[in-house]
Each structure stands twice: as C-alpha cells, then as structure tokens.
C-alpha cells in the first residue's frame, strides 16, 4: 500500500505507526519513504508492504492507496501503480480526482476531515486514518495502543487514542471494504530498523569508540542514532566542520587506539578521498560509510543510486588497495559494519562500506540478528614493540603487525603520509616504493581468498544468471523468486566484497551460466565495467543498467530477463 499527502499531514508518522503495529502483530514488513524535491516540507509518500514473509522490495503494483490530498501528487505518479482491482481511499472533499488515477481503481471517498473535526483534530487526520486502517487491515487494537503509548508517552496518548478509536469505529460501521492480513502468532520480538540504524547498531556492537561526521542526507541519521548511544557507552562523537575534518578526526582517533568511523554520502565522500589515501598510506584502520544518493554533484539528496562504485574502489590519487564492502539488506548493514571494523583493524586499511538511500532509509521488520557481544576490543596494541626501536605500522610483519598507538612507553613511531621504509622513515627510493606498493596490495590477498562473500540464490544449475550488489541485490532475490514462480530458472548472484575482487570464486559460481545479466542503478554501468575489469565472465554479458532515482522493481528485472526486453535495454553496454 501507499500513503501520500502534502507536508504536515503526518504521512510519515502514519507509516511508522502502521509498521510498528504490524511488527507487534507478528507480521513482516517493509516501509520506504519518498519525498518531493525538498528534503524538508513539500509532499511526501510512504510505501508499506506487509505479510507473512520478509520483503526486500515494494510489489510491482499496489493493493491500496491512501491519499490525504492531491497537491503535487503527480510527483509520485510513476510510483503509484495500482493493481487492476486496487483500492483508492481518499478524502471525499478534495474535489475531482487527478487524471492520472487509472479508471479501474476502486474509489472509496472517506470523510477523514469531518471525522477529525468531530473530535477536534482538524488539520491532522492521520491518527483517525490510522484507526480506520488498522480495522480495515485486521491489525489488532492492543498492539496499536502499545505502539501509540511508546510513541506519544503516557501523558499525551489519551488524545491520540481518541482519534484512533474514532477512526476505527467509523471503519467498523462502514465495514464494506478492506483486506485482512494473515494473523501470525509469534512470540519473537522482531526488530523494526532502518539500514542506517542497523549500521549504527553494528558500530556499537563492534566497539566503535569514535565517530565524526558532517550532516548530509541520507546518511545523517547514522550520526543522530550514534549521538544518542555512543556517549552513554563511553565513546566520543563530534560533528566536524566539514568532511575533510570528519575523516581526519577519525584517523587521529584511530591512531590513538579507538575503533573509529565516519559516515557520509556522495558529496562528502568526494571530499574524503584525500583522507582515504592518508589512512591507507599511514596504515591507520578506518571505517567510512557512504550512503549513496543520486549524483553527480548535489544530485538528488533523497533518492537512491549505485553510482559511487568507481569512487569507492578508486577515488583518491595513487594506487589505493582498500577494502570495499556492500550490504544488500538491513540485516547486512549491521553484520557488514561489524566485519568492516574487524577487517580495518586486522589489515590496517580503510574500509568503505557502500550503502545507499534505499537501504539506509527503509524500515524493515526483521528477525533478531545474532551479533557478537559489545565492547569487542581496542585496536591491536603496540605492546610487542621493542623498547627504543622505531617501529612503524608498515613493518612488513604481515597483517597482524601492530597498529600505531600513541602513548605507550618505549614506542617511537611516526605515522607517515610520505612513502616510507619499514621503520617509518620517509624514503623516496624506487626500491622502497616498489616494495611498499606491492606489500600494500598483497596484504589484502588473504581477504580476497576468503569464502562466503558471494551470495547465491535461485537455481544453481540455471543457464541464465543475474548479478547485482547493494540494495539491488535484494531486488534480485525477489526477482529470482518471481521468475521461478513463472517457470523461468535463474541463478541469482549478489556480491558483498567489491574490493579486493574475487575472480576465482565468481568464476566457480558462474559455471554453467551462458548469459549473465548485470543489474545496477548507474547510467554509466559502473558495475558492469567493474566486472569486466576484474573478473572472468561468460561470453555473453548483458547490462541492465539504468540511472537511479527509483529502485528496480522485481517485475522490471524479470521482464528484462526475457530476450526482447534485454536486447533493447542492454544494447548500450554489451
């Protein structure tokens, strides 16, 4: 279903209340939010999918659309695809329906305003609507009340409950329409989390002790979540003056021995390029989150895209063999954040965690994730250092050589951005540069050899394979399932470790595949060319690349896998 209306109508609150209530009723669900061109104010819509299994994508068409008004509704026109017998529930006094509402939609005008006025709620009918929707969808009252109490507090909940009950009573009496969702009995307390909250959770679980960031949509809520929870765990959080400062502060804190992280989106990530190179050269562990938005430049702050891939792998001058991880689900956001800290510490490298707006901003109902305990560890200490000897983190002692830690007696060490020898002294000789450049590259080989980073779904023996990364990976999982239901066998592949590349592992997985479809939200087909550069692929590889803004729907991918669709779309990059 979708709910939309202009700013101030409480669309987002209604979405939150519905998904929280659904979670309390034992359902799974997915909530996404879409905004008009402004980050604040203007019109907004939320999309909600509820059911008895987890979801990673909105359905291709909607069962139910709830509209508070029609102002600028055309912004969402593309996303409002009705099912043939889909319902449109709307405020009855808003006048004529816009021309783009499909004629087959079942129209249900409702007196929201009058109902809200009756109990003095005038301008904000959202809680009345909430009551009505709960009744119509078959969501129970008890969980809904608990959700409202948690949201509004004991004191203010009375008023909210009045509105809720008024709406519910009306729906009861109107009673002619609605869909009952399957009630699921469960005593599991499921989690209701966004991808960004999951990253914050992963950071806390991994023992992150320092965060510095600069506000930017759609990454800011990572910093906001940590600002509530990091200090109470003894960590430090700073809002830096810009992203140059943010990444360098994190590097300083990491050099001092704390697990450190920063998070940003495209424009900020560009500013961090220089700092990534510094962390690499000085071999200071660091986790950098990029929640991608539409680019280039300021682009579209509130919409998703996957076009920071090349920047994540290669931004910053010089040879930069860093680690790039890409979660493809909310669960993955938490798990890979923990991994990111472990890898950064073990290999003394910067790790880029590439998320995107679709992952970061969506709310999922998910089963609890088993994560290892909090307060894992500080960084590798330099206790092994021999007193008086100048020891540098780039000692060729392999991945587990000590990280530079300031302030241990006997230590004597300068983290160095110039090319340097194993003792940390600046050295511009060819021999040293050759040795160090190679060592920096080769120290990631152990990681590249690890199994388990490439996820497969669908039919392993299928001759058609579909590959993606990031949030599009979730759509691939849904698309493979949908294709199977239509009798088409597809091997779905999702990469989670983008750098270092794993050509041998992928080759093994691709065995038997005659054609490989590559799905990604990037007009320049960054993933497609990345695959061609680093992997051995089947002779026929077809790009389904398109710009971001709206994520793929599963149906879009299934359709593309049929020969005609693919021939048209893939013509540019094949």
Partner 1 sequence: MNKRIVSARQAKDYLSTLKPIWCPGCGDFGVLNALTMAFARLALKPEQYVIVSGIGCSSRMPGYLQGYGFHGIHGRALPVATGLKLVRSDLDVIVTIGDGDAYGIGGNHFLHAARRNVDVTCVVMDNRIYAMTKGQLSPTTPLGDVTATTQGGSVEPPLRPLLLALAAGATFVARACSWEPKRLATLLAQGIRHRGFAVIEVLSPCVTFRPEDRTLRERVVWHDREPTHDLLEAMQAALEGDGLTLGLFYQVGRPVFCGESEVHREVPMPKSPRRGLDAVLAALGESAAQD
Residues 323-382 within binding reach of partner 1 (CB under 8 A): 363, 368, 373-374
Task: State how beta strands 43-51 and 2-6 pair.
Answer: antiparallel
Q: Does 425 bind partner 1 (CB under 8 A)?
A: yes
Q: Within positions 105 to 164, which residues make up the interface with partner 1, using CB under 8 A?
A: 150-153
For residue 444 the two structure tokens come to: 């990631």
Decide whether 120 or 407 has the Cβ nearer to partner 1: 407
Q: Within positions 481 to 520, which residues make up the interface with partner 1, using CB under 8 A?
A: none
Fill in the DSSP letter of residue 90. E
Q: Does 407 bind partner 1 (CB under 8 A)?
A: yes
Fill in the DSSP letter of residue 405. -
Pick from 75, 66, 95: which is nearest to 34 by CA? 75
Q: What size, in residues, is the chain? A: 574
Q: Does 415 bind partner 1 (CB under 8 A)?
A: yes
For 198-259, where are the E strands, in sequence order? 210-213, 236-239
3-state secondary structure of 47: strand
Of 396, 398, 410, 449, the one binding partner 1 by CB under 8 A: 410
Shortest gap between Cβ of 147 and partner 1 (angstroms)? 8
Decide whether 147 or 352 has the Cβ nearer to partner 1: 147
Q: Does 25 bind partner 1 (CB under 8 A)?
A: no
Q: How far apart, in whole angstroms, are the C-alpha atoms of residue 261 and residue 284?
A: 12
Question: Are the C-beta atoms of 391 and 412 separated by less than 8 Å?
Answer: yes
Q: How far is CA 435 from the centre of its chain?
A: 38
Q: How far apart, in whole angstroms, are the C-alpha atoms of residue 521 and residue 439?
A: 34
Buried b (16+ CB within 10 A) or exposed e, 345-372: bbbbbbbbbbbbbbbbbbbbbbeebeee
Shortest gap between Cβ of 520 and partner 1 (angstroms)? 29
Fill in the DSSP letter of residue 433. H
Q: Within positions 270 to 299, which residues make up the interface with partner 1, using CB under 8 A?
A: 274-275, 277-278, 282
Decide whether 194 or 394 has the Cβ nearer to partner 1: 194
Q: How far apart, in whole angstroms, are the C-alpha atoms of residue 367 and residue 190?
A: 5
Shortest gap between Cβ of 468 and partner 1 (angstroms)? 27
Q: Does 251 bind partner 1 (CB under 8 A)?
A: yes
Q: How far is CA 73 from the centre of its chain?
A: 26
Q: Does 249 bind partner 1 (CB under 8 A)?
A: yes
Q: Does 252 bind partner 1 (CB under 8 A)?
A: yes
Specify the stretch interacting with partner 1 by CB under 8 A; choose among 5-13, 74-82, 248-256, 522-530.
248-256
Decide whether 103 or 373 has the Cβ nearer to partner 1: 373
Of 260, 263, 330, 457, the one binding partner 1 by CB under 8 A: 260
Q: Within positions 210 to 239, which residues make up the interface with partner 1, using CB under 8 A?
A: 210, 212, 225, 227-232, 234-238
Fill in the DSSP letter of residue 464. E
Total number of residues that touch partner 1 (CB under 8 A): 75
Q: Within positions 167 to 196, which residues make up the interface with partner 1, using CB under 8 A?
A: 189, 191-194
């Amino acid at each position: 279903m979708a709910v939309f209306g202009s700013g101030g109508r409480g669309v987002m609150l209604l979405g939150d209340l519905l998904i929280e209530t659904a979670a309390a009723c034992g359902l799974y669900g997915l909530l996404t939010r879409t905004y008009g061109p402004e980050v604040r104010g203007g019109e907004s819509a939320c999309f909600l999918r509820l059911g008895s299994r987890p979801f990673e994508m909105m359905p291709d068409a909607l069962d139910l659309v709830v509209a508070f008004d029609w102002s600028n509704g055309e912004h969402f026109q593309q996303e409002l695809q009705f099912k043939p017998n889909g319902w449109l529930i709307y405020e009855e006094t808003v006048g004529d329906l816009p021309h783009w509402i499909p004629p087959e939609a079942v129209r249900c005008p409702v007196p929201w305003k009058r109902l809200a006025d009756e109990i003095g709620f005038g301008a904000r009918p959202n809680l009345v609507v909430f009551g009505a929707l709960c009744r119509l969808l078959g969501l129970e009252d008890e969980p809904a009340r608990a959700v409202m109490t948690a949201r509004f507090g004991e004191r203010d909940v009375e008023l909210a409950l009045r509105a809720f009950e008024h709406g519910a009573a009306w729906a009861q009496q109107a009673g002619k329409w609605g869909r009952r969702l399957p009630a699921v009995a469960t005593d599991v307390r499921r989690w209701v989390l966004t991808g960004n909250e999951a990253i914050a959770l992963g950071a806390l679980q991994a023992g992150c002790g320092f965060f510095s960031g600069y506000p930017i949509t759609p990454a800011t809520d990572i910093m906001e979540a940590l600002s509530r929870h990091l200090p109470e765990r003894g960590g430090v959080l700073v809002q830096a003056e810009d992203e140059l400062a943010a990444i360098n502060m994190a590097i300083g804190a990491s050099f001092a021995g704390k697990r450190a992280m920063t998070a940003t989106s495209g424009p900020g990530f560009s500013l961090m390029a220089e700092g990534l190179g510094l962390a690499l050269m000085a071999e200071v562990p660091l986790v950098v989150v990029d929640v991608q938005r539409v680019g280039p430049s300021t682009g579209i702050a509130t919409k998703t895209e996957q076009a920071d891939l090349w920047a994540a792998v290669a931004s910053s001058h010089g040879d930069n063999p860093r680690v790039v991880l890409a979660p493809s689900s909310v669960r993955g956001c938490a798990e890979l954040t923990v991994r990111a800290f472990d890898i950064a510490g073990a290999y003394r490298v910067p790790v880029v965690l590439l998320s995107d707006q679709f992952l970061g901003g969506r709310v999922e109902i998910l089963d609890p994730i088993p994560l290892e305990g909090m307060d894992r560890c500080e960084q590798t200490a330099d206790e092994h250092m021999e007193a008086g000897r100048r020891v540098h983190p780039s000692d060729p002692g392999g991945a587990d050589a000590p990280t530079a830690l300031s302030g241990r007696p006997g230590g004597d060490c300068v983290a160095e951005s110039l090319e340097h020898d194993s003792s940390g002294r600046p050295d511009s000789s060819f021999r040293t540069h050759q040795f160090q450049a190679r060592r920096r590259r080769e120290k990631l080989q152990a990681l590249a050899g690890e199994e388990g980073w490439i996820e497969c779904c669908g039919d392993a023996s299928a001759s058609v394979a579909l590959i993606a990364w990031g949030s599009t990976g979730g759509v691939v999982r849904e698309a493979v399932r949908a294709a199977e239901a239509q009798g088409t066998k597809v091997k779905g592949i999702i990469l989670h470790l983008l750098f270092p590349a794993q050509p041998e592992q992928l080759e093994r997985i691709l065995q038997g595949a005659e054609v490989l479809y590559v799905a990604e939200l990037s007009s320049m087909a960054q993933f497609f060319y990345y695959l061609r550069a680093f992997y051995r692929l089947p002779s026929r590889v077809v790009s389904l690349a398109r710009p971001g803004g709206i994520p793929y729907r599963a149906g879009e991918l299934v359709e593309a896998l049929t020969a005609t669709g693919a021939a048209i779309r893939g013509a540019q990059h094949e």
